[in-house]
Amino acid sequence: MAPFAIAALALAACTSAPSAPSGDSSAPAAPAQSAAQPAPQGDDQAAPQSTPGTQTPAPTQAVMGALPDAGVGAIAAALATQPGTVVGLDDGIDDNGEWEVDILPDGANKAVEVKVLNGQVTGTQPDTDDDDVLSVQGMTVPIEAAITKAFTMLQGTFDSADLEMLNGVPTWVIDIDPPNMADDDQKVQINAVTGEAVLVAD
């Protein structure tokens, strides 16, 4: 029996397939998303508010030798909105017909400025005068009586009235425009306790 030689030659050739070149396998980065810009807002400016039911105010009609009806009405309208004691009044000729009434509320230490146009209150704000509380103490002559008294002393038209402390005495200072309007205001000082005219200055 012929020897059967089985020569098994195992030639293991481990040939590893070359790996594919590792190129930049990462996908190109997407451009960064820009933050969305807010839509432009509209103009925030509020529409101008107009006083309801009013037209361009007529100039305050000056009345020779008396407080105009517009001034009497301004006092009444202001007191209806802010009760208290009237300590000042300014005509509306320089403010397009808008009167200013200064009122010291009961128990308060600061007056309130009340704006009145055509008999209607248009706004209020604190007054900055520090003499109002002292001035109103002992005061017995109201503003209307002081103005009436002033016109017995001087001729002209009403400009303003203010309650002040002068030499320790509550005193109404009344400014009156002269009839020809060429000179400066004339002033009458009325003792707010006795009602007497204590000084007349041209």
pLDDT in tens, the chain (202 residues): 444 333 333 333 334 444 444 444 444 444 444 444 444 444 444 444 444 444 444 445 678 889 999 999 999 999 999 999 999 999 977 778 899 999 999 988 889 999 999 999 999 999 877 667 778 888 999 999 999 999 998 889 999 999 999 988 999 999 998 887 666 778 999 999 999 987 776 5
Cβ atoms of 99 and 92 within 8 Å: the answer is yes
The answer to whether 85 and 136 have CB atoms below 8 angstroms apart is: yes
What is the Cβ-side half-sphere exposure of residue 6, based on CA atoms within 13 angstroms? 2
Q: Report yes or no: 149 and 190 within 8 Å, Cβ to Cβ.
A: yes
Q: 90, 103 in Cβ contact below 8 A?
A: no
Tokens read off for 64: 């020779």
Q: Let me know if 54 is exposed, middle or buried by CB neighbors in 10 A (0-12, 13-18, 19+).
A: exposed
- Rounded to whole angstroms, how far apart are CA atoms 90 and 72? 12
- Side chain identity at 22, as an amino acid letter? S
pLDDT at 154: 87
Tell the residue number behind the tokens 């009602």, with chain if given. Answer: 195
Residue-level pLDDT at 130: 65
Which pLDDT does position 196 carry in this prediction?
A: 93
Residue pair 200/154 in contact (Cβ under 8 Å)? The answer is yes
| pLDDT value of position 11 | 33
pTM of the model: 0.67
Closest CA to 104 of 126, 123, 121, 85: 85
